[in-house]
Amino acid sequence: MKPFFKTILLLGGVLLSSGLHSQPLVNPNATPAAKDLKKFLDMVYGHKIIAGQMDEGYLQYIRDNTGGKEPAMMGYDFNGLSPGQGGNNDAAKAIKWVKEKGGIAQFQWHWNSPDGKGDFYYKNFDLTAALADTGSANYKAIIRDIDRVAVEMKKMQDAGIAILWRPLHEAEGAWFWWGMSGGESCKKLWNLIYDRHTHYHKLNNLIWVWTSYGTTKPNWYPGDSTVDLIVWDYPDYGTNGSWKQYNQLFGGKGKLFGIGEDGTLTNPDILTTQGWLYFLTWAYMVLDTDQHKDGKNSRDWLNQVYNDPRVITLDRMSFGPQAVVTGSKLLFDFDGDGKELVKLKGSSSFTNRGKITHYEWRLNGDLLSETDSIAIELPLGSHSFTLSVTTDSLETHDVTHEVLIRTPSLFLNKTARASSVDILTGSHANLATDGLLSTRWLSADRDPQWLAVDLGTPHRITSVRIYWSAGSAKSYRIDMSNDAVKWTTVRTFTDQPAGERTDSVNQLLGGGRYVRVWGISRNGTGYGIREIEASGQADPDVVPVPEGTQTGIDDHDPGVPNRFRTGHAYPNPFNPETTIPVFLPEAGMVSFQIVNLIGQTVHQSDYFLPAGESFFPVKATTFSTGIYLWQMTFRDQTSGGRFFLLR
Residue type, 601: T
Is the Cα dihedral 37, 237, 223, 134 positive or negative? Answer: negative
How many Å apart are CA 33 and CA 161, to the nearest integer?
A: 6
How many Å apart are CA 443 and CA 450, to the nearest integer?
A: 8
Write a three-state SS string for 73-91.
Answer: EEEEECCCCCCCCCCCCHH
Residue type, 408: P
Q: Per the omega criterion (within 30 degrees of 0), is the bond before 561 cis? A: no
What phi and psi values does residue 560 have, to the nearest 5 degrees?
-130, 155
Q: 557: which DSSP letter?
A: B
Closest-CA residue to 133 (of 185, 84, 177): 185
CB neighbours of residue 495 within 10 Å: 8
How many Å apart are CA 196 and CA 173, to the nearest integer?
A: 25
Closest-CA residue to 491 (of 512, 518, 467): 518
Beta bridge partners of 328: none
Give, in order, the Cα–Cα distances in Å from 367 to each of 249, 360, 388, 405, 575.
45, 7, 11, 21, 14
DSSP string for 418-482 = ES---TTTT--GGGGSSS-TT--EE--SSS-EEEEEEEEEEEEEEEEEEEE-SS-EEEEEEEEES
**What kind and span of H or E run contains 191?**
helix 183-195
Give, in order, the Cα–Cα distances in Å from 306 to each of 103, 226, 267, 600.
15, 33, 10, 32
- Residue 229 gets the label, from left (phi > 0), alpha (psi -120 to 50) or beta, of beta
Residue type, 618: V
How many Å apart are CA 327 and CA 342, to the nearest integer?
A: 8
Catalytic residue list: 170, 261
- Please classify residue 335 by burial: count the beta carbons closer than 10 Å to its beta carbon, then call 0-12 exposed, 13-18 middle and 19+ buried: exposed
Strands (E), 89-144: 104-108
Are 535 and 462 in contact, with CB atoms under 8 Å apart? yes
Are 106 and 52 in contact, with CB atoms under 8 Å apart? yes
Coil vs helix vs strand at 18: coil
Are 258 and 231 in contact, with CB atoms under 8 Å apart? yes
Residue type, 131: L
Q: Give the contacts of 11 (CB within 8 A, at least 6 positions apart).
A: 354, 355
